[in-house]
Structure 1
Amino acid sequence: MSDHAGLVSRLRAAWLSGRTRPLEYRVAQLEALGRFLEDKKQDILEATALDMGKPSFEVELSEISVCRSELNHTLNNLGAWMKDKSVDKNWVWGGGCQGWAGWDQWVPYHLLPAAGNTAGHSLHPQGPLWGSAHHWALELPRQPPPGAPHWGHRCCRNMERLVAEALPCYLDKDCFAVVTAGVEETTRLLENKFDYIFFTGSPSVGRIVMTAAAKHLTPVTLELGGKNPCYVSDTCNVQNVARRVAWGRFFNAGQTCVAPDYVLCSVEMRERLVPALRNAITEFYGSEPRNSPDFARIVGDKQFKRVRALLNSGRVVIGGQTDEKERYIAPTVLVDVQEDDPVMREEIFGPVLPILTVTSEEDAITFINARERPLTLYVFSSSKKVVCRLLERTSSGGFCANDTIMHMTLTSLPFGGVGHSGLGRYHGRFSFETFSHLRSALLRADGREALNGLRYPPYNPRRLPMLRTAVENRRASTCTLL
């Protein structure tokens, strides 16, 4: 604990001073993050290109633009979100008696570390502070926290350096800190007491974070990814499906937590879908994706070797080429994959798409429900009934029909996992609520003591009916048609 105890103590002291509570302070920090995005945009583009060859178009779209949208959404609404809200009161507390007030109040948590595993890049804002993720390198806040250490990762050197050196110049150094660390250092950091922990990464590391949080009874939000199913029904536009699935799977070379991880479809649909996927890949990246400026590389050597080993599952029908020196893995489609193959036992997190066949829609639902609940479930069908049946009979963190990834861009939708894919939610107002404590408050004047006589000893049974009438909610009257 001595490694970071001083830092944690300093950040907590800044929160206790009350400086982070006012709206003006939070707005100033959010605006500072906006300036960081604008001033360092070119540096961000260069860092992502050096670390993993991520196309600037993808960085602009999925990171900078989305982050700017989240920041602006928060700036537009933060004042309204922060307002105390009056609540209904029963007869005793609100029945014309003077000097009573009841409301709920959003109070920011004290110290909130955001943690992540290794790989990828993003400026996608998750929560009230920033953290590195196993699929993105930088995440920025939606509401300024009272103070939060941040730890990065070791394979994205350039982005890590940019965040560590530049970001503190924009934020209040007494209330925000950037800490770069690996798993061991992060584990020691978590020995300190925090008030809320946000983590995005793998389930295995998520368990470490949750175990550390349990020691101090610290609440957590975990975004743990997982294997996202993509069911393609026989009634759909195959060309459109192929483009949208290929884009979602091979965006950032497949290194996104919400990428479709495998396709479920009938044998007949597979025979139509594979050629359509081949055409879509050629349309996007040319006949040789290795030479395309629009196709990224795997973020690290360890990750490259892990994904390359997954190519031994099933049979390669598209792609399959690799280059260890460049950490290049071609956009790849696998068929004849078995349920127990390595590619189906872990999140792929690379440009590999297995296709498994099912005999029916019911078979697909059974297959999905027999596995851990995913972060996202995708369904493609021209039939609304098919989409609704999959929605109603499965469970997942999120759900998207006839597209991929784009549901994440809506600040009006919560984002998060369920079960094995995580817990908690964020994005837009949901981030504000997640990283704030909803505090109840009831105030009354110190007079009118006679009102309390009903509840004071010595108890008189004759008072009970009157007291129950005063404090109990009554069920609304209903009308039943026979």
Structure 2
Amino acid sequence: MSESTVREKSQEQVKVCVQKQRAYFNEGHTKPLATRVRHLEKLLRLLREHKPQIIEALRQDLNKSETEVYLTEIGLLIEEIRFTMKHLERWAKPKKVKTVKTHIGSKGYRIPEPYGVTLVVSPWNYPIQLALAPLIGALAAGNTVILKPSELTPACSHLLATLINDHFEEGLLYVIEGGVDTSQYLLKERFDYIFFTGSVGVGKIVMEAASKYLTPVTLELGGKSPCIVHKDADLKLAAKRIAQGKLTNAGQTCIAPDYLLLHEDIKSDFIAEYKRIVTSFYGEQPLKNEAYAKVVNERHFQRVKSYLDDGRIIFGGQVDERLEKIEPTLIEPSSEEVPIMREEIFGPVLPVLTYRNIDEVIERVNGGEKPLALYLFTKSSEVEEQIVNNISYGGGCINDTLMHIATPYLPFGGVGESGMGAYHGESSFSTFSHYKSVLKQTTLFDFSFRYPNAKNGLAILKRLFG
């Protein structure tokens, strides 16, 4: 199956699917906590039992190695499901809150309840992980889910449809395959929540469609994520962790370092170390290394390849048209206005810039859109505080890359043009839950001052709030 052979769903088929889920939810099937846990257990079992098929589908679509599949797809999902099942009972309990002095005798609660019928639209770069990770939170919170995977990774899309649609009731969880037309039909329907991961441009389309029904959304987008290496950094460790963060999935990661900001004193030493590390990872000829991933398709390959003309190649720069692979590359951009400095790269090409002091870095990053991720390598707590306290970004790491996404204790999400909302761990449950406020008032006594005919009511109110 290829992108061009994806069969679109008709508008009527999409409508019927949404109607089935609406009926299923309204009948109360998703509410019991034990039922939600069973759904998560089934999902966990499917992941474990079908690892070979998942590995093969990811090899077909992206040439991912088995090691990378475990690290970035299967392993993250298994840990997320385990964590959710362990804590779900506590998350789902009504939360008692304090009341003010005018509410003596009453009790306040925040009660999490599912939104209802939800839509999850997932991208192609991590086609298993980014499809199922939000789905975990949606099921845990008691929603039904329609999942629309990307048509750009057809093997993974078809595998998800086969596994899920064969093992879950359509009213609870259903995968709809298709391309642009199918996505447009879905966005015409009324959902209770929409979770989208993808580009800024499509994110705006999703938000516009959601506004028709005032449907709440989570948008996980992207942007140009800076990676700052200060003069006091451990360069060997920094080069290793930056290379791993940039070259995983051939750079097709929304939180990959998008450009380097190197202190000018360590530029040459860092570049030498980066070259050494890349060679140790993938050998002298990375394009021939089976563990090195490909660019997803011809269109994206040509897009990333075009960035090689945007400056002076420091390292790498070779391509293989047949395999759709591009070498790990360092490039000095010819100006700030070339495409590689204006667009999210989503490939293994890394621009190199320099700075003299941290104020320059802060001014430069704050001069653009708020990034999804930021990485800083330094031994200085003062530099760390300067960066963290003066730059707004979705999330990131000090002295590492990517790893903040791998802990369920940290919410993951963007800010500004890099997205809105967050998920992972309890944040996934919260994202797919509406917290209903309930005040249970006493009937043992009543305060007369609250009523318009109260004697001395105004005087009492003035004493209370004066």
Normalised-by-shorter TM-score class: over 0.9
* 1:277-298 deviation line (CA, Å, top 9, x unaligned): 1101000000111222221001
The amino acid of 1:292's aligned partner reads: N
What TM-score, normalized by structure 1, do the two folds share? 0.90
Match of 2:166 among 169, 173, 177: 169
Paired residue for 2:230?
Answer: 233
Match of 2:314 among 313, 317, 320: 317
Rounded Cα–Cα distance in structure 1 between residues aligned with 2:132 and 2:221: 13
Match of 1:5 among 6, 15, 26: 15
Match of 1:455 among 441, 450, 457: 450
How big is the shift at 1:261?
0.5
Rounded Cα–Cα distance in structure 2 between residues aligned with 1:230 and 1:404: 9
* 1:423-442 deviation line (CA, Å, top 9, x unaligned): 00111001111110000112
Rounded Cα–Cα distance in structure 2 between residues aligned with 1:469 and 1:103: 28
Q: What is the percent sequence identity of the aligned residues?
A: 38
Paired residue for 2:116?
Answer: 110
Q: Secondary structure at the match of 2:118?
A: coil
The amino acid of 1:437's aligned partner reads: H
Paired residue for 2:82?
Answer: 72
Paired residue for 2:323?
Answer: 326
How big is the shift at 1:302?
0.9
CA gap of 1:85–1:27, structure 2 versus 1, over 3 A, is: same
Does 2:437 match 1:440? yes
Match of 1:464 among 454, 458, 464: 458
Paired residue for 1:133?
Answer: none
Does 2:62 match 1:52? yes
Rounded Cα–Cα distance in structure 2 between residues aligned with 1:292 and 1:141: 38
How big is the shift at 1:268?
3.0
Q: Is the 8 A contact 2:114 2:141 kept in 1?
A: no
Paired residue for 2:277?
Answer: 280
Larger helix percent: 2
Match of 1:34 among 15, 30, 44: 44
CA gap of 1:66–1:469, structure 2 versus 1, over 3 A, is: farther
The correspondence of residues 124-143 of structure 1 with structure 2, limited to 5 A, is 124=130, 128-129=134-135, 143=140
Q: Secondary structure at the match of 1:226?
A: coil
Q: Is the 8 A contact 1:126 1:431 kept in 2?
A: no
Q: Is the 8 A contact 2:122 2:131 kept in 1?
A: no
The amino acid of 1:464's aligned partner reads: L
Paired residue for 1:19?
Answer: 29
The amino acid of 2:325's aligned partner reads: Y
How big is the shift at 1:90?
3.0
After the TM superposition, which of the residue ranges 375-384 and 416-425 deviates more from structure 2?
Answer: 375-384
Q: Is the 8 A contact 2:376 2:397 kept in 1?
A: yes
Q: Is the 8 A contact 2:118 2:144 kept in 1?
A: yes
Paired residue for 2:409?
Answer: 412
Q: Is the 8 A contact 2:223 2:371 kept in 1?
A: yes
Rounded Cα–Cα distance in structure 1 between residues aligned with 2:357 and 2:42: 53
Rounded Cα–Cα distance in structure 1 between residues aligned with 2:152 and 2:422: 28
Q: Secondary structure at the match of 1:102?
A: strand
Rounded Cα–Cα distance in structure 2 between residues aligned with 1:71 and 1:244: 27
The correspondence of residues 425-436 of structure 1 with structure 2, limited to 5 A, is 425-436=422-433
Q: Is the 8 A contact 2:84 2:426 kept in 1?
A: yes
Q: Is the 8 A contact 1:232 1:265 kept in 2?
A: yes
CA gap of 1:141–1:127, structure 2 versus 1, over 3 A, is: farther
Q: Is the 8 A contact 1:278 1:318 kept in 2?
A: yes
Q: Secondary structure at the match of 1:105?
A: strand
Rounded Cα–Cα distance in structure 2 between residues aligned with 1:228 and 1:347: 8
What stretches of structure 2 of length at least 5 have no aligned partner?
A: 1-10
Rounded Cα–Cα distance in structure 2 between residues aligned with 1:3 and 1:162: 20
Q: Secondary structure at the match of 1:315?
A: strand
Paired residue for 1:243?
Answer: 240
Paired residue for 1:478?
Answer: none
After the TM superposition, which of the residue ranges 185-194 and 367-376 deviates more from structure 2?
Answer: 185-194
Rounded Cα–Cα distance in structure 1 between residues aligned with 2:103 and 2:88: 30
Rounded Cα–Cα distance in structure 1 between residues aligned with 2:153 and 2:463: 64
* 1:212-251 deviation line (CA, Å, top 9, x unaligned): 0111001110011111001111111211111111110001
How big is the shift at 1:313?
1.0
* 1:179-208 deviation line (CA, Å, top 9, x unaligned): 112233212211111111100100000000
Q: Is the 8 A contact 2:200 2:418 kept in 1?
A: yes
After the TM superposition, which of the residue ranges 382-391 and 71-80 deviates more from structure 2?
Answer: 382-391
How big is the shift at 1:123?
2.0
Rounded Cα–Cα distance in structure 2 between residues aligned with 1:120 and 1:429: 22
Q: Is the 8 A contact 1:114 1:151 kept in 2?
A: yes
The amino acid of 1:78's aligned partner reads: L
The amino acid of 2:292's aligned partner reads: F
What stretches of structure 1 of length at least 5 have no aligned partner?
A: 131-139, 475-482
The amino acid of 2:457's aligned partner reads: R
What TM-score, normalized by structure 2, do the two folds share? 0.93
Rounded Cα–Cα distance in structure 2 between residues aligned with 1:404 and 1:382: 16
Aligned residue pairs total 456
The correspondence of residues 5-404 of structure 1 with structure 2, limited to 5 A, is 5-95=15-105, 100-124=106-130, 128-129=134-135, 143=140, 145-404=142-401
Q: Let me know the Cα RMSD of the aligned residues.
A: 1.9
